[in-house]
Amino acid sequence: MLRDMRIRVERFPLAVPFRISRGIRTVAEIVEVELQVDGVTGRGESVPYTRYGETLDSVVDQIEEIRSAVQTGLDRAGLQALLPPGAARNAVDCALWDLNVKQGLDVDLLSAPQPVATALTIGVDTPSAMEREAAKLANVPVIKVKVAAQQVEESLCAVRRAAPLPRMIVDPNESWDIGMLQDLQPLLEDLDVAFVEQPLPSTEDGALAGLVRRVPVCADESCHTADDLDRLEGLYDIVNIKLDKTGGLTEAFSLLEAARNTGFGVMVGCMISSSLSIAPALQIAAQADFVDLDGPAWLKHDRRGGISIRNGQLIPPRAGFWGSDAIVQPV
């Protein structure tokens, strides 16, 4: 029987603006794919990202180009050959996973999602404003601090004063250069920073080969799929797996396995998104060293039945939200 495929563009206003070194976001713009066959529905979601040349229209167009193949039975393996890594493939891949497990297929390939500690993010702001936000998070397990190239020391010291206990991740989003990163090593060590995420532009990260590092360095914008790992050896210590970069859960599993086999630490991350993006990412979270899946916490309103976050602990979605009852969290 033919599948019915629906593509929807959705916009989720944020509760407060989200600031990083590249700019400010006030709304999460999302593409949702819904597949239906014989009364069974599978859903997937993705977030087009301008950093990678994606727009809502371009992602929808990519998915429309493979509509016929999807409706006539395209499987996840075939999808990898039809679309490149990115948001379009992610939405379709996750919808196929959801559909398949609800049909009773490949259930054994997924694990029951469990509560997990997630980083909670502090956006770029004045040092005093970041200190106030950090005070609210003083008792959570992990915080992630967004910084730019200005007031780095003031901002990080302010956050650490207000939140001395959580593990701290620092994320400049490609806004530093190698000299700045090298000069900041003593401060990062003194503040007990767990790692720095993507400090240099991905086009300049070869300079990391000469870095005398006191804290590990994580690849985000520089790492999309398992094919990137050969180039990243000797430059990074950790890779950030995001389904919007890998093009779905299928390649995310491949990247996870390849990263482990080559000695990289693993982080799982997300864009600012709804819980429909987070549900499949929890499959990677179960095997990750660091989890950064607080995207829905920034939304004014998330999807009904989605994740919740309590004191830095991410609670999985309710039964049936994504995937079959066979893989949902036990009561």
User: Is 144 noted as a catalytic residue in this protein?
Assistant: no
3-state secondary structure labels for all residues of the chain: CCCEEEEEEEEEEEEEEEEECCEEEEEEEEEEEEEEECCEEEEEEECCCHHHCCCHHHHHHHHHHCHHHHHCCCCHHHHHHHCCCCHHHHHHHHHHHHHHHHCCCCHHHCCCCCCEECCEEECCCCHHHHHHHHHHCCCCCEEEEECCCCCHHHHHHHHHHHCCCCEEEEECCCCCCHHHHHHCHHHHHHCCEEEEECCCCHHHHHHHHHCCCCCCEEECCCCCCHHHHHHHECCECEEEECHHHHCCHHHHHHHHHHHHHCCCEEEECCCCCCHHHHHHHHHHHCCCCEECCCHHHHECCCCCCCCEEECCEEECCCCCCCCCCCCCCCC
User: Is 136 noted as a catalytic residue in this protein?
Assistant: no
Q: Which residue among the candidates 102, 144, 146, 245 is catalytic per the annotation?
A: 146
Buried b (16+ CB within 10 A) or exposed e, 248-261: bbbbbbebbebbee
Q: Which residue among the candidates 102, 136, 144, 242 is catalytic per the annotation?
A: 242
Show which residues are catalytic: 146, 242
